[in-house]
Structure 1
């Protein structure tokens, strides 16, 4: 039997890792190992390392990128590969995908955020409502919805930040996530924020339901995956979550391409994750 290790969040991380651990044991076998990404030890004994639960890596970027360097130097077999993880860690990849022709949520980057940047973005995007987020982030850390005349929160002023126009569809319809394993579509969900919020994370009051793919959703997801694979020079991503919503004109736009530690919501998959397990098996052959 192949030896598989899943990297997890640090011991003091606030979310409960128990349920996803049980899910991965169900899918991949009770003998899989779990190690904290912050101190994983020697991983050379494993046939495959999966960073599926490295939640919170954005809170210690130097350690995260040092780990990726170490995995690369030791030629540890990890999926998605280190080159993918490094690229996907910084959300400026959205600009690379946009350049490749993928319809993304319009995005600007400020190297040191000022109120002038907010004014410029509001003018460029023709909106008074903006979303500001760090380029390396997760779980909505450091993410704000601002009116153009609001003062900058102290924790983001002067920092490198992404600026995007607020998308009203997040509250009106929600955010779709499509899941692909070994390049094959598995399932989709629709995530909605709590009333008055724009963040869809469950611990912030968001919720999700299983969903059929609306027209145009899979087309965008496939184009985003293919563009990423071409940019990175790889054949097929092992696992992918594609987050998208509609713009004011009703067209789907990519919010994020999650290739590191996405929640995969197997409870909404018709096969309860069997395709994922099969993709892992094929990857190991």
Structure 2
């Protein structure tokens, strides 16, 4: 394994969020096998045994380049930590509808091809709630995500755009969002993330916090059924890494929020082995 060369696709130098501690985790675990490459300028992969998009943050802001890169990796037969087929599928959150159709309970979602007030009114009637969350289907880090009550100003930045509409679930603030982490198909650790008071976004850049938690049995079961459904849909059974984001609805039923298979923060500081199983799973993908 010591001779394996790994390209870690990374954000552009001007990316505004600095998560250097995450990069440091990967550098420590993988040592001199890892090379960090600006994903927007990555072109030649002949020197690498494995490519992983673990730090390719910002790809939703340049979708043509992202999907072009995936095509290149696939056409050149480059070994990628999670296969290109599943990266492409996971890039657009429309995959949630496929999982829902396969029987995986997810947060109820309507997709608007051109968001307007009428679409929001229809969603409020459908979900029987006044408070909605809207987000782009291709997004990350809560970019372009808003919580809208009835009468709130319509965000001009997303008017007419393809957007997902979901009911706001108060359990996100009352309890929090669970994240379960799997390496090589095996459960590693879990955390619970909570938004800052008055907010609904759990990301650290918005004041969210996280702590270790024992994964409830119902959450573990939902994660496993989501993996099985994903394998049936994509034909990909083994994943080097995966994060499953879940929360309970008002009836206490766990629902899938997102299946993160591209560039999730893995919160390795909460892993019992601090990331050893992750590194082994990544190297085993070669």
CA–CA distance in structure 2, aligned partners of residues 205 and 181 of structure 1: 28
| Structure 1: gaps spanning 5 or more residues | none
Answer with 71-80 or 264-273: which moved more: 71-80
> Does the 8 A contact of 1:229 with 1:237 survive in 2?
no
Answer with 169-178 or 29-38: which moved more: 29-38
| Structure 2: gaps spanning 5 or more residues | none
The 5-angstrom pairing of residues 28-177 of structure 1 reads 28-177=30-179
Q: 1:61-82: CA deviations, max 9, x gaps?
A: 1111111111111111112111
> Does the 8 A contact of 1:105 with 1:255 survive in 2?
yes
Q: TM-score, normalised by structure 2?
A: 0.97
The RMSD of aligned alpha carbons is: 1.1
Partner of 1:208: 210
CA–CA distance in structure 2, aligned partners of residues 199 and 188 of structure 1: 18
Deviation at 1:116, TM superposition (A): 1.1
**Secondary structure at the residue paired with 2:74?**
helix
Deviation at 1:281, TM superposition (A): 3.0
**Secondary structure at the residue paired with 1:244?**
strand
Q: 1:131-160: CA deviations, max 9, x gaps?
A: 000001111111000013333210111111
CA–CA distance in structure 1, aligned partners of residues 14 and 23 of structure 2: 16
Deviation at 1:17, TM superposition (A): 4.2
For the pair 1:258 / 2:260, whether they are aligned, the reply is: yes
Answer with 140-149 or 188-197: which moved more: 140-149
CA–CA distance in structure 1, aligned partners of residues 232 and 239 of structure 2: 11
Q: TM-score, normalised by structure 1?
A: 0.97
CA–CA distance in structure 1, aligned partners of residues 262 and 18 of structure 2: 18
Answer with 50-59 or 74-83: which moved more: 74-83
Runs of 4+ in 1 over 3 A off after TM superposition: none
